[in-house]
Amino acid sequence: MDQINTESSSILLSWQKLIAPYQHPDQARSILQLITTLLGYAAFWGLMIFSLQISYWLTTIFVIISALFLVRVFIIFHDCGHGSFFKSKSVNRWVGFLLGVLTFTPSEDWWHEHAIHHATAGNLDKRGTGDVTTLTLNEYRSSSKWNRLVYRVFRHPLAMFLIGPVVVFFLRQRFPSVNAGMREKFSVLYTDLALAILFIGMSFLIGWKEFLVLQLAVMWLAAAGGIWLFYVQHQFENVYWRRNSEWDYVESAFLGASCYRLPGFLEWFSGNIGYHHIHHISPRIPNYFLKVCYLENLPLQQATTLNLRTGLKSLSLRLWDEKAGKMVGFAEVRRNTIIPDS
């Protein structure tokens, strides 16, 4: 183990030298990205409201574009949590809080859980915080019929991407996480209060029914897109999962996160977060440097690469097969085994 840790530390050190030039935010670029994103989001909100008098089909188009802008807002919020968007810690915190209100996400509480995700991604013995619930093949086989049913429902695409956004962003994030401290609890309280003010104010401006329908539609679409991005970045066939005694940070970063190559306009709206292996190697890299870092460093181009078509395969992968060292589907459960009755 000491030898493995020494080798891992050596690799990490060499990669840190490789990515060092990309780890510092460009203040002008950050401000420009923030302004253009918020202006774009506000502009399409205005177009949505205006289009209600013209055509609901036109409104639907504007809802989709607004949702894409909201995904970009969330990426900036995410960067603020890593302290990678602005040089100032306090500016990251304040901007992050305000963007968290727009994305229905309490900043400090979400950032706390997300930090745990980065520290434990791919660790089978530390699952359960900030990750997609994943059972091993043997755990599923030994589960009761009821628990298997619950897991099957949870992992079904309709549940994850239709019901999931409602559960996570509309309900779950209105309350502090289990291990939240006072700072995290207050961030939930302040976010909920700010959302109440936002809902009341916008209801007076455009009508509560109109605002409710538009806001929930935009938030639901953006949340579904965000959940999909996170899912495909950590749920693919040869993803990295290890027991704690064998888990390694460097390997979990490079092997446990995919490189999800998207069309250019989707990379823009998603803030290049598809280059997720680089983000896990160094969360200090601002979103606008992730693709540059990837293109300028050949070693970083060796990660598992997915696209819109190949990424869809991950939907059929639901369990981690420890023996085979890969994600498998439910069809694998009945092979060479007898499922217990209870």
- Sign of dihedral through CA atoms 215, 219, 220, 221? positive
Q: Residue 329 — φ and ψ, nearest 5°?
A: -95, 180
Q: What is the pTM of this model?
A: 0.91
pLDDT of the residue at 318: 92
- Whether 243 contacts 124, CB under 8 Å: yes
Q: What contacts 333, CB < 8 A, 6 or more positions away? A: 137, 140, 141, 319, 339
pLDDT of the residue at 332: 84
pLDDT of the residue at 336: 54
8-44 burial: b if 16+ Cβ within 10 Å, else e: eeeebeebeebbeebeebeeeebeebbeebbebbeeb
- Whether 67 contacts 218, CB under 8 Å: yes
pLDDT at residue 342 tops 50: no
What percent of the chain clears pLDDT 70, i.e. is strictly above it?
A: 94
- Whether 187 contacts 107, CB under 8 Å: yes
33-59 tens-digit pLDDT: 999 999 999 999 999 999 999 999 999
> Smallest Cα–Cα separation from 132: which of 235, 226, 229?
235
Domain positions in the chain are: 18-334
pLDDT of the residue at 1: 36
122-141 tens-digit pLDDT: 999 998 888 899 999 999 99
> Smallest Cα–Cα separation from 228: which of 186, 265, 276?
276
Q: What is the C-alpha to C-alpha distance for residues 223 and 101, in angstroms, rounded to an integer?
A: 14
Range 56-82 average pLDDT:
97
Under DSSP, is residue 123 helix (H, G, I), strand (E, B) or coil?
Answer: strand
Strand stretches in 209-276, DSSP E: 259-260
- Whether 164 contacts 185, CB under 8 Å: no
Mean pLDDT rounded to a whole number for the chain: 91
268-317 tens-digit pLDDT: 999 999 999 999 999 999 999 999 999 999 888 888 999 999 999 999 99
